[in-house]
Amino acid sequence: MTADFTAVEAAVRQRVGVRLFTVLAWDDGRGELHRVHTSHPQEYPTGGEKAFSREAPWISQVVVEQQPYIGSDLAAVAAVFSDHELIASLGCGAVINVPVVDGGATIGVLNLLDAEGSYGDGSVAAALPLAALAVEPLRRWHAEHRAAAGSDLAPH
């Protein structure tokens, strides 16, 4: 599946810049994020998943309210991500998280990470339209996993 996101990653690298790039699929029924693409498979392998409360500030902002999150320094990254030490070890101290929305529902999130101070408002503006490139691969991921699980993993 990761090949489907290669074009998304290339566009992110060209238009915004990134050291670490992942794509997460949102399973609304279970309140889980599933890592479906990664630029760093050793540190962040695909298949990783984590459950979240919709009330958690980051999930509320990015998934529920469908607003991007920007953390321009390591303190902002650490405030949101428990794995901030691993992130920092990869030379990353700034993050942009962009919701991927399909038909009004959040189906995933693009995670862009780079060196501290790399991202500002212009970076967010450049990243937002790139979410559209991930819609079709995320649709396919959801369809494949619905079929495999025999349940509805698509957003409600």
Determine contact, residues 93/58, Cβ cutoff 8 Å: no
Which tokens sit at 13?
């690298």
Asked, for residue 123, whether it belongs to a domain, the answer is yes
pLDDT tens per residue across span 97-121: 999 999 999 999 999 999 999 999 9
Domain with 98 in it? 2-145
Asked, for residue 153, whether it belongs to a domain, the answer is no
pLDDT tens per residue across span 51-76: 888 888 999 999 999 999 999 999 99
CATH classification at residue 22: 3.30.450.40
Return the exposure string of 117-140: e unless at least 16 CB atoms fall within 10 Å of the residue's CB, then b. Answer: ebbeeebbebbeebbebbbebbbe
Residue type (1 letter), 148: A
Asked, for residue 60, whether it belongs to a domain, the answer is yes
Q: Dihedral sign for Cα 101, 27, 3, 86, please.
A: positive
Domain count, the chain: 1
Asked, for residue 62, whether it belongs to a domain, the answer is yes
How many whole angstroms separate alpha carbon 154 and alpha carbon 117?
35
